[in-house]
């Protein structure tokens, strides 16, 4: 890990501790209560404890506020400059400029920006992306890939042992059909090295699968041969398995091309597809039957939920084993959760899929709890997300009404970003323009997705996404590039901070914003909501802009200049780090 690290508690945390101690001193009956300290627009911070706690002890809030103030030693406090009772029972807290400068210096000196390792040794499984073999990745795989990757970065930064699991759809009867078709059409080109630039193996396979499907529907004899192929595949017939492996490998190469372009962490080592769990399905089912959790219904084995019921009290079930003896998606997820808990020994499970699968996961979690696999202290969470909509407010489709290929969508965003960047910066040479456009276009798509509240639907509006104005990825990249260019001219000034320099209000706002970085990162890990980090970075970029408008940096005299450069340095590092946690690259120039 880092060269040098020391946790830097934020001013908010330190004030909360001070307030909590003061409250405990003046009122024993309130010892340990949350002091409810927040940032405030009336002072630096506000403590809402008197209002929040007054009822509990039967004292008017104003009186409790006065008691708390009496319990504080403001004079002897290195952080607090003043505490003023305000309104019906708030305390406005102002901190000293020296304390803010001290935070800036401490964070700047630390390899982790002073952010603590809060999840050491915690094993977190994150299930995300999970495209289907021989099918092209489409717009439906965008959100899971982007959100899951950001969560993996955030939780990993906080010290957890993250296991990324790409639950590829690599098994099912459709592969029998496809393999049979390939066998009968040896001239069909689908390996990447037989295809031209601009098309992928997976797109060729997707097309061949459609042809196979058509033949299956039209020709009963082909359908029979396909069914025998499924049997051969499941029985492990070497020639059939070899083709299947080839299909999986070629598809994965195509997925990797998208992952590289999206700058996500997924590698082939993270692929643990559905087929991996095949050998465990039998035992899993047996265990559920023995526990009385899988029961017969119409020749099938099903799991009945105790917790959820359908319309008119109809039971809600998971299909554990079909009537024909086959196993499907539900069984695989039961074996998967059992494996992740029992063999991988996960402490936390996160599944990133769209919200239409909410019931499925609720039932899988319930079954795992009742089977004794999911125990207290271990959490299973469905990080559900909404649908990407087109301009007409219905699920996003191509003009012809087809599914949008992920590659096409990215190409489109990059070409629009290119136009915007070229306009803003006409003297970039072509190679650099390409590089920046790629980075900005991908950032635009990722940020637009991450910055909307996860569970909400959002509409895919490329022009808004690539804009330099507003809460966009491009705006943040641009803010980062702007600070970087100031630093480029700053020499080695700003590596130390003079605590005695009086603070301008815009410096103070920026310093306090920088000090709150760790809190938001922890919040994202707890809530699995990356949009909180996006909102933070956007506010930080605006605080920087306000500071830069009000406070000349390079033209100022020392020691003011040095302190301002230090603020710029910490801003650049915090923006860059935050963007990295979102999986967005931050170019030095835009």
In the chain the first and final C-alpha atoms are separated, in Å, by: 30
Among residues 127, 215, 250, 515, the one that binds ligand ARG under rule CB under 6 A: 127
CA angle 435, 149, 572 (to 5 degrees): 55
Closest CA to 478 of 549, 577, 561, 576: 576
Rounded distance, CA 94 to CA 284, Å? 60
In the three-class reduction of DSSP (H, G, I as helix; E, B as strand; rest coil), residue 570 is classed as helix
| C-beta of residue 281 within 8 angstroms of C-beta of residue 327 | yes
Using the structure block, give the residue that is written with the tokens 């059992």. Answer: 338
Stretch that binds ligand ARG, among 29-37, 127-135, 222-230, 532-540 (CB under 6 A): 127-135
Q: Which residues pair with 140 in a beta bridge?
A: none
E strands, 106-189, where?
Answer: 123-127, 161-165
Q: Which is nearer to ligand ARG, 340 or 416 (CB)?
A: 340
Closest CA to 144 of 286, 310, 33, 255: 255
Q: Which is nearer to ligand ARG, 278 or 522 (CB)?
A: 278
For the CB of residue 177, give the shortest distance to ligand ARG in the complex, in Å. 18
Among residues 336, 563, 571, 574, the one that binds ligand ARG under rule CB under 6 A: 336
Rounded distance, CA 403 to CA 269, Å? 28
For the CB of residue 281, give the shortest distance to ligand ARG in the complex, in Å. 14
CB atoms within 10 A of CB 445: 26
Q: Which is nearer to ligand ARG, 251 or 353 (CB)?
A: 353
| C-beta of residue 287 within 8 angstroms of C-beta of residue 337 | no
Q: Which is nearer to ligand ARG, 20 or 336 (CB)?
A: 336
For residue 148, state whether it binds ligand ARG (rule: CB under 6 A): no
Residue least distant from ligand ARG (Cβ): 130
Stretch that binds ligand ARG, among 125-133, 244-252, 386-394, 395-403 (CB under 6 A): 125-133
For residue 169, state whether it binds ligand ARG (rule: CB under 6 A): yes
Taken as a whole, the chain contains a residue count of 590
For residue 132, state whether it binds ligand ARG (rule: CB under 6 A): yes
Q: Which is nearer to ligand ARG, 353 or 439 (CB)?
A: 353
Among residues 27, 167, 225, 348, the one that binds ligand ARG under rule CB under 6 A: 167
Within 360-399, the residues that bind ligand ARG by CB under 6 A are none
Q: Which is nearer to ligand ARG, 127 or 529 (CB)?
A: 127
Stretch that binds ligand ARG, among 81-89, 124-132, 174-182, 225-233 (CB under 6 A): 124-132
For the CB of residue 255, give the shortest distance to ligand ARG in the complex, in Å. 12
Among residues 103, 150, 353, 471, the one that binds ligand ARG under rule CB under 6 A: 353
Rounded distance, CA 547 to CA 362, Å? 47
Q: Which is nearer to ligand ARG, 331 or 353 (CB)?
A: 353
Helix %, strand %, coil % of the chain (to 5): 55, 15, 35
Rounded distance, CA 266 to CA 381, Å? 20
| C-beta of residue 514 within 8 angstroms of C-beta of residue 10 | no
Q: Which is nearer to ligand ARG, 127 or 136 (CB)?
A: 127
For residue 330, state whether it binds ligand ARG (rule: CB under 6 A): no
By rule CB under 6 A, what count of residues binds ligand ARG? 9
For residue 130, state whether it binds ligand ARG (rule: CB under 6 A): yes
Q: Distances from the Cα of 168 to the Cαs of 128, 129, 289, in angstroms?
A: 9, 8, 27
Among residues 110, 215, 333, 515, the one that binds ligand ARG under rule CB under 6 A: 333
| Binding residues vs ligand ARG (CB under 6 A) | 127, 130, 132, 167, 169, 333, 336, 351, 353
């Amino acid at each position: 890990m880092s060269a040098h690290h020391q946790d830097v508690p934020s001013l908010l945390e330190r004030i909360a501790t001070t307030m909590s101690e003061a409250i405990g001193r003046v009122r024993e009956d309130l010892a340990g209560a949350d002091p409810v300290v927040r940032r405030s627009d009336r002072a630096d911070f506000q403590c809402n404890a008197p209002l929040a706690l007054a009822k509990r002890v039967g004292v008017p809030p104003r009186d409790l506020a006065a008691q708390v103030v009496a319990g504080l030693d403001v004079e002897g406090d290195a952080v607090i400059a003043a505490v003023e009772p305000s309104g019906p029972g708030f305390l406005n807290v102002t901190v000293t400029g020296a304390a803010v400068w001290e935070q800036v210096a401490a964070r700047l000196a630390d390899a982790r920006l002073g952010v603590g390792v809060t999840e050491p040794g915690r094993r977190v499984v994150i299930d995300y992306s999970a495209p289907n073999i021989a099918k092209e990745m489409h717009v439906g795989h965008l959100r899971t890939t982007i959100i899951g990757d950001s969560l993996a970065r955030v939780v990993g930064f906080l010290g957890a042992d993250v296991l990324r699991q790409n639950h590829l759809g690599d098994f099912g009867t459709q592969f029998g059909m496809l393999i049979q078709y390939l066998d009968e059409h040896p001239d069909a080109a689908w390996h990447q090295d037989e295809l031209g630039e601009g098309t992928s193996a997976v797109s060729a396979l997707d097309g061949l699968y459609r042809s196979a499907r058509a033949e299956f529907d039209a020709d009963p004899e082909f359908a029979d041969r396909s069914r025998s192929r499924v049997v051969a595949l499941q029985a492990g017939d070497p020639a059939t398995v070899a083709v299947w492996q080839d299909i999986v490998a070629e598809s994965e190469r195509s997925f990797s091309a998208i992952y590289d372009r999206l700058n996500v962490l997924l590698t082939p080592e993270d692929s643990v597809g559905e087929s991996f769990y095949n050998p465990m399905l039998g035992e899993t089912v047996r265990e559920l039957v023995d526990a009385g959790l899988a029961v017969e219904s119409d020749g099938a084995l099903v799991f009945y939920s105790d917790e959820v019921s359908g319309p008119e009290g109809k039971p809600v079930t998971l299909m554990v084993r079909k009537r024909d003896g086959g196993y499907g998606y539900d069984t695989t997820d039961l074996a998967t959760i059992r494996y992740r808990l029992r063999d991988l020994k996960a402490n936390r499970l996160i599944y990133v899929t769209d919200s239409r699968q909410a019931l499925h996961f609720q039932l899988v979690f319930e079954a795992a709890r009742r089977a004794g696999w999911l125990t207290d202290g271990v959490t299973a969470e469905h990080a559900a997300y909404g649908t990407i909509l087109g301009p007409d407010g219905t699920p996003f489709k191509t003009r012809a009404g087809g599914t949008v290929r992920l590659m096409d969508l990215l190409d489109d965003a990059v070409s629009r970003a290119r136009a915007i960047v070229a306009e803003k910066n006409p003297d970039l040479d072509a190679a650099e323009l390409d590089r920046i456009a790629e980075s900005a276009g991908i950032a635009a798509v990722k940020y637009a997705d991450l910055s909307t509240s996860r569970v909400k639907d959002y509409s895919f509006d490329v022009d808004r996404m690539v804009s330099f104005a507003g809460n966009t990825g491009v705006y943040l990249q641009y803010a980062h590039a702007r600070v970087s260019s100031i630093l480029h001219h700053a020499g080695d000034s700003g590596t130390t901070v003079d605590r005695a320099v009086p603070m301008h209000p815009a410096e103070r706002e920026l310093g306090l914003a920088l000090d709150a970085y760790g809190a938001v990162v922890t919040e994202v890990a707890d809530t699995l909501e990356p949009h909180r980090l996006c909102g933070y970075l956007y506010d930080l970029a605006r605080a920087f802009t306000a500071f830069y408008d009000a406070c000349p940096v390079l033209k100022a005299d020392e020691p003011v200049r040095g302190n301002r450069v230090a603020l710029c340095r910490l801003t650049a590092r915090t923006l860059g780090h935050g963007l990295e946690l979102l999986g967005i690259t931050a170019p030095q120039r835009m």
